Amino acid sequence: MLFIEPFAGVAPVVRFIREAHRRLDINTYLLTDRVILRAVHAAVRHGVRVRIIIARHPYGRRPRGEMARLRATGAQVHYAPRRFSRRYVFDHAKYMVSGDHGEIGTANMTWSAFHKNRESLWTGHDPRIARALRTVFQADWSQRHAGHAPRETLILSPGATAGVVRALRMPGRVCIESEELGRDRRVLAALRAKGRAADLLLPSRLNRYDRRVARDVASFGVHVRFLRHPYIHAKLIAGPGSAFIGSENLSPSSLDRNREVGLILHGDDARTLFVQCRRDFRRGARR
């Protein structure tokens, strides 16, 4: 099931946590939302084994008191592996898994994500997706590499460029939302090939470097617009029949160095993303 923020609010995440029965694994860049913290605490009190991986230095800093608040819930908490805790390299993934139930999305577990940002979340019962998420989580929890198997199901970084480029190359018109750009050669080539059949929506608060990249992308014929409210934190590539959502921005670090997790959706979920992205795009400004 697909949820779009800030329409859905925090309820889908809280519901996922409440429905966990034995084990719940959470990987998120940042977890500060008090409602989610209370839900995690309640799950632990009901006997659920909760494990959480968070980024060591989100936004380049260590949030004051975050680790203490997380551990106060009774959950087991680890910082991300050190290979994803270096300068300009992050554990930026946002997912949960419990049994055969998985959640993948673009939202950090913060108040802003569920009340101010444009975000997309998918939840569902799919043994293949859940197994892939458990494999990635266990590898990162144990400071090991996840191997190839999860990549048969997920769009997983490092190494997500090929999957994202395939999404950009889907037939027909595509609508794209991304918080960041960057000069990934293969991504730019795919955007150039798509040309006028692509709509790209970015947040109005974009740094100068990414604005220069956006001008280059516009020179390919791609329709580029900027939106002020809600803040574009979503990362999606949507067509009428299939869509990509995940934590990956269209930047080299996000695709090839960070820990990121994404998924290809089909059918009604893809159409919903496409329609909402087109609505957002029509509200955007050209500069």
pLDDT tens for each residue of 16-26: 999 999 999 99
Show Cβ contacts of residue 82 under 8 Å, excluding neighbours closer than 6 positions.
Answer: 143
Q: Do domains 2-151 and 161-283 have the same CATH topology?
A: yes
Q: Where do we find the tokens 């009774």? A: 74
pLDDT at residue 60 greater than cutoff 70: no
| Annotated domain spans of the chain | 2-151, 161-283
pLDDT score for 62:
66
Among residues 82, 53, 262, 58, the alpha carbon closest in space to that of 159 is found at 262
Tell me if the bond preceding 12 is cis, omega within 30° of 0.
no
Q: How far apart are CA 258 and CA 255, in angstroms?
A: 7
Domain 161-283, CATH homologous superfamily name and number: Endonuclease Chain A (3.30.870.10)
Handedness of CA 24, 89, 231, 264 (dihedral sign): negative
Tens-digit pLDDT profile for residues 242-277? 999 999 999 999 999 999 999 999 999 999 999 999
Is residue 287 scored above 80 in pLDDT? no
Q: CATH for 2-151?
A: 3.30.870.10
Q: How confident is the model at residue 160 (pLDDT cuts 50, 70, 90)?
A: very high
pLDDT at 63: 63
The pLDDT of residue 88 is 85
The arithmetic mean of pLDDT across residues 197-222, rounded, is 97
Distance from CA of residue 190 to its chain's centroid? 21
pLDDT for position 89:
93
pLDDT digit string, tens, across residues 63-114 = 668 899 999 999 999 999 999 988 889 999 999 999 999 999 999 999 999 9
